[in-house]
Amino acid sequence: MLRIAVVGATGAVGRECLKLLDRGTVPVGRVVPVASPRSLGRRPAAELGLSLAVDPMTTVEALDPRELDVAVFCAGAELSSREAERLAAAGVLVVDNTSAFRMRPDVPLVVPQVNPAALARRPAGNLVANPNCSTIQLVRALHPLHELAELEGVVVATYQAASGGGLHGLAELAGESARLLADPEAQGAPNGRFGQPLAFNLVPEIGLQDDTGLSHEERKLVREPRKILGLPDLRVSATAVRVPVFHCHSEAAHIRLRRPVSTAQVEQALADTPGLRVYRRSDAAPSYPMPRTVFADDESRALVHVGRIRVEPQDPRSVAVWIVADNLWVGAALNAVQIVELAVKYGWLS
């Protein structure tokens, strides 16, 4: 039975990791919740109704790697950069949810439904990177289309929920929305979690822009799919927008294929892919996914939802799709837990 530390256990993703581990899909002996010193004394097992054996809350500096098999990091790139390699060097398998190691050539960037072979052997450095939340749902929809007719290029616009800003982001959106509903003339704080007021607004910048005008989030969307799909020359153009939605990221993806396809072929390729829920035009209305319905139940939260599937009439190599997924589950915690499941399946983590 595995001994697993969840670093950032009181944050939005860490809490979801604990709840998913409690489902029993990973052979867990005990869980060590890790957070900042101000969280010492909190009891996540009681707060979340867990049946797992959960240790008292501790800090990352106090972790003893000799007492751990796995550490899932969900607490930001700065902490991961400082502490993850210390644990990995001591033999702990580290699954990192941040951007700290994703593009390092020696670190696998893994979506179990897309590139499971990346974990057929234990990584020499004991580090595995979880991709960006928007990347995960995108590549899970792209992968079957690449197998169908080979990808040539992707143009994607993301519509990212406030939960991407963690518990503070959710609280900020709720508070701003309440204030504006009470007083439409109220001004939101321009220096909050999202850089600009988010309530009843759209913010087309997630992270700082570089010299080319790409934001930090857009750079991740351009680079990470190439590594995961094994397509280093794939053309990707991305625009990332923060939207006043509490949960679930949405994406409008326009995909260029190397061979012509029909809408029926695209729908069938996606429908045949485990973990995807496909919405066809012939379905009862609405024939497309939406954040509120995707977040409605655990079964839906665990899937990638794809609708508005259409092939350009004048260009049968061009496909447009609408993708929605729960960024806290599919885009973070669930992918991390499934990485651990995959390592157990391959037999090198026991």
Measured from the Cβ of residue 125, the count of other Cβ atoms closer than 10 Å reads: 15
Q: 294-332 in b/e burial notation, b at 16+ Cβ within 10 A? A: bbeeeebbbbbbbbebebeeeebbbbebbbbbbbbbbbb
CB contact set of 227 (below 8 Å; sequence gap of 6+): 102, 103, 109
Residue 265 phi, psi (nearest 5): -65, -40
In 3D space, the residue among 139, 132, 128 whose CA is nearest the CA of residue 104 turns out to be: 128
Catalytic residue among 133, 143, 247, 305: 133
Tell me, yes or no, if 133 is annotated catalytic.
yes
Question: Which residue among the candidates 143, 146, 247, 249 is catalytic per the annotation?
Answer: 249
CA distance 274 to 189: 43
Name the token pair of 332. 């973070």
Sign (positive or negative) of CA dihedral 137, 225, 222, 337: positive
CB 115 within 8 A of CB 143: no
Which are the catalytic amino acids? 133, 249
